A and B are shown apart, each in its own frame.
Chain A
Amino acid sequence: MSGVRSLVAMKHVGVNVAADILMSSGYAGTNAGFIVVSADDPGQHSSQNEQDNRWYGLISHIPVVYPSSPRDAYKLVKEAYKLSEKYGHPVIFRSTTRISHTRQIIQLEEKIPFEKKCKGKFDRNIEKWVLVPAHGRKQKKRMMRVWKTIMEEEGRPPFITVYNPGRRRAIIADGIAFSHVAEAVEMMGKRDEFTLVKVNLPVPLPYKPIVEALKDAKEALIVEELDPVLELQVKKILYDNGLSIDLHGKDIVPENGELDLDTVYKSLKEFMGEPVTTPWKPMKPLELTPKIPPRPPVMCPGCPHRNTFFIVKVAANKARLKNPVFTGDIGCYTLGYQAPFYTQMTSLEMGGSIGVAHGLSKVTDEPVIAVIGDSTFYHAGIPGSINIIYNKGHAVVLILDNYYTAMTGHQPHPGTGKTAMGEETYRVPIEKIMEALGYKTYVINPMNVKESINKVAEAFEEYKKGAPVAIVSRMKCALEALRDARKLGIKLPVYTILEDKCTGCMACVNPIACPAIMVPKGSNKPVIIAELCAGCGLCAQVCPFNAIVLKEPGSPDWIKAWY
């Protein structure tokens, strides 16, 4: 809007949240280069779904640039900016987990420009920025012109590259799928037998190089991860250009999960009509008794969420809050869906805990507790919290304040006291927000287990009487406490279990599942792995026999690391 280049980054599902403005930005266009960087997560390494965001390009009429490797990404970002500035139009830069989480050596082509242009002037172009219907209709025409021109003109390297034109068999692959294809045909020694089309602008797919690559082909295979976005477009291109060839795609290449060298190798074999074998001979899994147990993600030693979940469950018993439904959200606390906590029974979208709790409180008579992390609360929980209280829902809102956006790598949020750029700023207290909305708000420090159980039980009593209740559980993320201890030169306490006092009752094992406590092979008494203990003291507070004591008391001021 003001002539300054910009870039916004989010994961694939982030685009869902930004979809409203995304649609409008295609209509409005831009005054300087603008890129939406978004990484999809094929295989769902750490996401609620594996949606294919190339569709967003089609629905919003915004071109999608999609690199084949980290090195490609470096080169293509520049090309994406050029494209954006050439057409005055936003560009989606699509990555995937695999590309974003791979390291590769990149030779910088030039120095990063020293002078950055970060200031501009707002362009008072009302027709562009005020999308009332009259303006929107005009802008739509502009957008469709850009769209068609890109399809017509941009079918060139580095967006589309055709190798070995004129072969009988062609393979079209975009993004990382192309890297797998290139290695697979190389390994087969058949690189020259195929016409290969490397697609780095899958949406809208420029038709000229596709026609060029397929006009002499008898058969073609489209290799793409997830949905048949290329396939649909290629089929249309073939039809529009009167070409009829034997075209394969999702009938051979898997549509679920991540592609890799192995799957692509097998797909190519099938396409070639050869026996589906590979050159590698994997070992079978080891036969062990007991088997190697799965190692699902767990809360870290000292994680405040563990304390809070333990406290909430004991307090619910104490207050006779029978069988509450715990609606959940997305963050480290989602791991509470597992044994022994079961304090997350839904996890669907950012902020969903509160909306779902509101709905359930209307249509069931069960007690409902919405569990939401602090970062998620600031970003997506406040409207829902207003909604519950204003529209007379009845659910406890439990906010887990660990000072950080922990799961995604400790980014600051409005409760951290640091801006997104790392500058000092003030902290927005969650309890003040909830009090202002009209919630009876309780704040606990879950490191103090007994005191917190009493407070939470009191809160549940109030809830049972019909009061709107919020609980803020505040304790720093243990990883940050460990980091701060290191920075401040503080030694944190470490606990140990006295073997002669321990009865093997497992009260420190079964209800809290701390990874720092293990039961050695052949023993019935747990031990604490000193190296992993963060010194939160939860186990010592739950041990009924006072068998868990300090091994090392830590520095006198150790508690500072936790605040």
Chain B
Amino acid sequence: MKERYNIILAGVGGQGLLTLGRILGNAAIIAGEEITIAETHGLSQRGGSLIVQIRIGPGESPMIPRGAAHLIIGLEALETGRQIVYANENTKIVMNEFLWPPPLALYPDINQIIEKIRERGLKLYVFNANKLSEELTGSIISANVALLGYTMAIDDELSKRISIEQVDKALEKVFRGKVLEMNRRVLWRAYEEGGKNK
């Protein structure tokens, strides 16, 4: 059996993680790859920790063991740091340059998180997906798609299984009209950015 490719999406409820999962799911259908996408919903609609576990390749068990992620895509810095337990020494991490603290809490700053992840010898890519989304759409709403576009450029293992063109096609299944066009622009611009930083 081919090894399954394990991706952890980490972030905060409301950042569009579930949508990212749906995009990758549709892209996998187009690519003819098996996939499972496990969404963990907490008690709140917005603002709680959220992870989505994606496994590409044949197999039915939907959960990724700690230490078995090939790729972590983090839409928020604290959540990326929290999910580091899913990483091993070869895991790639793509993190949004954005820290959103929970209310009334003390928290470490983003530079400290970046430093500590790098100290572990992990491959960490930091990209300001919020900024790119804001530039192109006037809001941070497409930061999720931006981070995916960036990731597609830097992670060959992922793009071996699902190509950027297939992700582009998958956007059609998830968005429509103006929103679709907007997300397309974000995807490709972020892909370009990723290509520069590979």
The answer to whether B78 has its CB under 8 Å from any CB of chain A is: yes
Give the contact stretch, choosing among A16-24, A86-94, A331-339, A464-472. A331-339
Given A102-B38, A292-B78, A297-B42, does the pair A283, B112 have CB atoms closer than 8 Å?
no
B88 touches A280 (CB 8 A): yes
| Partner pick for A298 among B36, B37, B47, B60, CB 8 A cutoff | B47
B41 touches A45 (CB 8 A): yes
The answer to whether A147 has its CB under 8 Å from any CB of chain B is: no
Shortest Cβ distance from residue A475 to the other chain B in the assembled complex, whole angstroms: 16
A295 to B104, CA, bound (A): 10
| A275 contacts across to B, CB distance below 8 A | none
A301 to B105, CA, bound (A): 16
The answer to whether B87 has its CB under 8 Å from any CB of chain A is: yes
1/0 contact string of B132-147 vs chain A (CB within 8 Å)? 0000000110000000
How many A residues touch B, CB cutoff 8 Å?
63
A291 to B107, CA, bound (A): 6
| B140 contacts across to A, CB distance below 8 A | 531
CB proximity to B under 8 Å, residues A420-452: none
A102 to B35, CA, bound (A): 10
1/0 contact string of A55-80 vs chain B (CB within 8 Å)? 00000000000001101100000000
| Partner pick for A291 among B13, B14, B103, B108, CB 8 A cutoff | B108
A515 to B65, CA, bound (A): 31
A45 to B50, CA, bound (A): 11
| B82 contacts across to A, CB distance below 8 A | 285, 292, 295
1/0 contact string of B146-163 vs chain A (CB within 8 Å)? 000000000000000000
The answer to whether B84 has its CB under 8 Å from any CB of chain A is: yes
A98 touches B44 (CB 8 A): no
The answer to whether A113 has its CB under 8 Å from any CB of chain B is: no
B46 touches A105 (CB 8 A): no
Nearest B residue (CB) for A182: B60
Shortest Cβ distance from residue B50 to the other chain A in the assembled complex, whole angstroms: 9
B36 touches A101 (CB 8 A): no
Given A46-B43, A104-B35, A182-B61, does the pair A521, B109 have CB atoms closer than 8 Å?
yes
Nearest B residue (CB) for A340: B104
B28 touches A105 (CB 8 A): yes
Nearest A residue (CB) for B106: A290
B44 touches A293 (CB 8 A): no
The answer to whether B85 has its CB under 8 Å from any CB of chain A is: yes
Most buried by A among B13, B46, B49, B139: B46
B65 touches A295 (CB 8 A): no
The answer to whether B16 has its CB under 8 Å from any CB of chain A is: no
A127 to B10, CA, bound (A): 57
| Partner pick for B89 among A180, A182, A281, CB 8 A cutoff | A281
B116 touches A287 (CB 8 A): yes
B66 touches A298 (CB 8 A): no
The answer to whether B25 has its CB under 8 Å from any CB of chain A is: yes
Shortest Cβ distance from residue B126 to the other chain A in the assembled complex, whole angstroms: 15
The answer to whether A276 has its CB under 8 Å from any CB of chain B is: no
| A281 contacts across to B, CB distance below 8 A | 67, 88-89
| Partner pick for A518 among B39, B64, B88, B100, CB 8 A cutoff | B100
Most buried by A among B22, B62, B79, B122: B62
The answer to whether A288 has its CB under 8 Å from any CB of chain B is: yes
| A176 contacts across to B, CB distance below 8 A | 61
B46 touches A300 (CB 8 A): yes
A169 to B41, CA, bound (A): 37
Nearest B residue (CB) for A529: B100
The answer to whether B101 has its CB under 8 Å from any CB of chain A is: yes
B88 touches A510 (CB 8 A): no
Shortest Cβ distance from residue A164 to the other chain B in the assembled complex, whole angstroms: 17
B60 touches A101 (CB 8 A): no
| A517 contacts across to B, CB distance below 8 A | 103
Given A45-B41, A280-B68, A283-B120, does the pair A293, B35 have CB atoms closer than 8 Å?
no
| Partner pick for A297 among B36, B47, B104, B116, CB 8 A cutoff | B47
B101 touches A518 (CB 8 A): yes
Q: Is the interface of B mostly helix, strand, loop or mixed?
A: loop
B38 touches A300 (CB 8 A): no
1/0 contact string of A255-290 vs chain B (CB within 8 Å)? 000001110010000000000001011111111111
A293 touches B66 (CB 8 A): no
Shortest Cβ distance from residue A277 to the other chain B in the assembled complex, whole angstroms: 12
Most buried by A among B82, B88, B102, B117: B102
The answer to whether B94 has its CB under 8 Å from any CB of chain A is: no
The answer to whether A499 has its CB under 8 Å from any CB of chain B is: no
The answer to whether B48 has its CB under 8 Å from any CB of chain A is: yes
A103 touches B79 (CB 8 A): no
Given A291-B108, A518-B101, does the pair A286, B45 have CB atoms closer than 8 Å?
no
A103 touches B22 (CB 8 A): yes
1/0 contact string of A500-537 vs chain B (CB within 8 Å)? 00000000011001110110010000000101000000
| B86 contacts across to A, CB distance below 8 A | 282-283
Given A183-B59, A283-B85, A510-B104, does the pair A295, B12 have CB atoms closer than 8 Å?
yes
Most buried by B among A297, A407, A531: A297
A407 touches B45 (CB 8 A): yes
B139 touches A531 (CB 8 A): yes
The answer to whether B165 has its CB under 8 Å from any CB of chain A is: no
The answer to whether A120 has its CB under 8 Å from any CB of chain B is: no
B37 touches A103 (CB 8 A): yes
The answer to whether B81 has its CB under 8 Å from any CB of chain A is: yes
A339 touches B63 (CB 8 A): no
B103 touches A514 (CB 8 A): yes
Nearest B residue (CB) for A47: B43
B45 touches A332 (CB 8 A): yes
A409 to B109, CA, bound (A): 33
Given A104-B36, A293-B107, A517-B103, does the pair A282, B48 have CB atoms closer than 8 Å?
no
The answer to whether A179 has its CB under 8 Å from any CB of chain B is: yes
A103 to B13, CA, bound (A): 18
A292 touches B81 (CB 8 A): yes
B113 touches A286 (CB 8 A): yes
| Partner pick for B25 among A71, A103, A186, CB 8 A cutoff | A103
Given A292-B81, A298-B47, A300-B47, does the pair A265, B65 have CB atoms closer than 8 Å?
yes
Q: Given A260-B65, A295-B82, list of 12 further CB < 8 A pairs? A: A98-B62, A105-B29, A179-B60, A182-B61, A283-B84, A283-B87, A289-B108, A290-B108, A295-B12, A299-B44, A407-B44, A531-B139
User: Could you list some 5 contacts between A and B, CB below 8 A?
Assistant: A102-B62, A182-B60, A290-B107, A340-B104, A479-B45
Per CB-CB distance, the 9 closest pairs between chain A and chain B, nearest first, are A282-B67, A297-B44, A293-B105, A280-B67, A282-B66, A179-B60, A262-B65, A297-B48, A297-B43
